[in-house]
Chains A and B, each alone.
Chain A
Amino acid sequence: MSLQEFWQSVRTGAKLYAPTRVVSDSPRMNTAVLDDILARADLWLAPKVVKGYDPVDFSFLPPERRAALTAQVDEFRQVAEQVDPRGQATYEQIARAKPLFREIVQALEFDRFADPEAFRIGKQAEADPRFPSGDVSDVRYRMDVNWEGEPVVRIMAYVPESEDEAFLRKAADVRERIQNIVFEIGEPYWPHVSLRKSSDLDELPEVGDDE
Chain B
Amino acid sequence: MSRPQSRPVSRPAIAAVWASASKGSRILVILFGLHLVVKALLFTQVGDIPVCCDQVSYDDGAKALSNLVRDLAGGGPLHLAELQRNLVGGGWFTPGSSIMLTPLYLVDPDAGTTAVRAYLGIFSTLLLLFTALRVRAVLGDLYAAILLVIPGLIPMYLLFSYSAWGDLVAGLFCTILLMELITLMRTLVAGAAPTWQSGARFGVAAIAAVYARSSTSLLVVGMGLVLGLTALLLLRGRVRIQAVLSFTLAGITFLAILAPWSVFASRTMDARVLTTTTVPIVLANTFGDRDRVCFSPCDPVQDPGSIRGNIWFPPMQYSREVARATGESEVLVEKQMWTYTRPSVSAQSFTHDVIGNFWRYAGVPASFVRLLTPDQADGGFLSWTIVIGTYLGWGILFLGGGALLLTVVRRSTDHQVISLVTTLALGSLFTQPFVHVGTGRYWTTAAPLLAVALGLLVVLVDARRTNPRFSGGSATMSPPISPDTSAVPESVVNRWLTVAQAVLAAATLLTVAAVLVLGLT
User: Is the pairing of A and B real?
Assistant: no
Partner-A contacts on B (CB < 8 A): none
Q: List residues of chain A with CB under 8 Å of any chain B CB.
A: none
